[in-house]
Structure 1
Amino acid sequence: MQKIKLQPLADRVLVQADQAEEKSKGGIIIPDTAKESPQKGTVLAVGKGKKDEFMTVKVGDSVLYGKYSGTEITVEGVEALIMKESDIFGIIQHTYDNY
């Protein structure tokens, strides 16, 4: 994860999308034109929230978001999405317990 010098305003969040799948589960290489944009990414920067509304996500969180959420931008050579926190469906909890 790269440190970005951008402070989103209010309830905005800067997310770096995960890489699109290169191969299908069957091993077929997917061409760039057929790759689906990922709906999972890592939070790079978070705004301070709105009055009486605190931000839930924090830098470094893995999140799920809507397929058409956010606006694509490039900041310091990094391609990312800037979106409202409400466009994020949830934070992915990584557990390493063997159940």
Structure 2
Amino acid sequence: MAIRPLYDRIIVKRTDAERSTASGIVIPDSAGEKPDQGQVLAVGPGKLLASGELRPLAVKAGDRVLFGKYAGQAIKVDGNEVLVLREEDVIALIEG
């Protein structure tokens, strides 16, 4: 199923959380927190301004982003969990 977000919404797939600490201690899945970063899969056409114009989004498909732990709405698409966020929920782009 193809999914296309509307306006200033983006679709993000969370990246896998670290499974061990720097010292090598393995963290079980039940004890780990959900990651607060992910890869942008799709973006909407832009934010609708009061003037009726669409302002293009600063993020694009393929970008890695940082977002709040409780931001967005989780949905399932083809059996995979993804997040639907507004552009304003993105804290930063991860470069490198």
TM-score range normalised by the length of the shorter chain: 0.7 to 0.9
Query: 1:8-53 CA deviation, whole Å, 9 max, x = no partner?
Result: 0111110001001111122111111210111111000101112342
% identical equivalent positions? 45
What is the root-mean-square deviation in Å for CA atoms of aligned residues? 1.3
- The one-letter code matched in structure 2 to 1:30 is I
Determine the C-alpha separation between the residues in 1 that align with 2:37 and 2:94. Answer: 9
Which position in structure 2 is the counterpart of 1:28? 25
**Equivalent residue in structure 2 for 1:70, among 72, 78, 81:** 72
Specify which structure has the higher proportion of strand.
Answer: 2
Which position in structure 1 is the counterpart of 2:63? 61
Q: What TM-score, normalized to structure 1?
A: 0.84
Task: Name the stretch that deviates more: 70-79 or 14-23.
Answer: 70-79
Which position in structure 2 is the counterpart of 1:83? 85
- Give SS of 1:32's match: coil
Determine the C-alpha separation between the residues in 2 that align with 1:61 and 1:39. Answer: 14
Structure 2 stretches lacking a partner, 5+ long: none
Query: 1:67-97 CA deviation, whole Å, 9 max, x = no partner?
Result: 1111111112222111101000111121xxx
Q: What TM-score, normalized to structure 2?
A: 0.86
**Equivalent residue in structure 2 for 1:48, among 37, 45, 56:** 45
Determine the C-alpha separation between the residues in 2 that align with 1:14 and 1:65. Answer: 12
- Give SS of 2:47's match: coil
The list of structure 1 runs, each at least 4 consecutive aligned residues, that deviate by more than 3 angstroms after superposition, is none
Task: Name the stretch that deviates more: 82-91 or 48-57.
Answer: 48-57
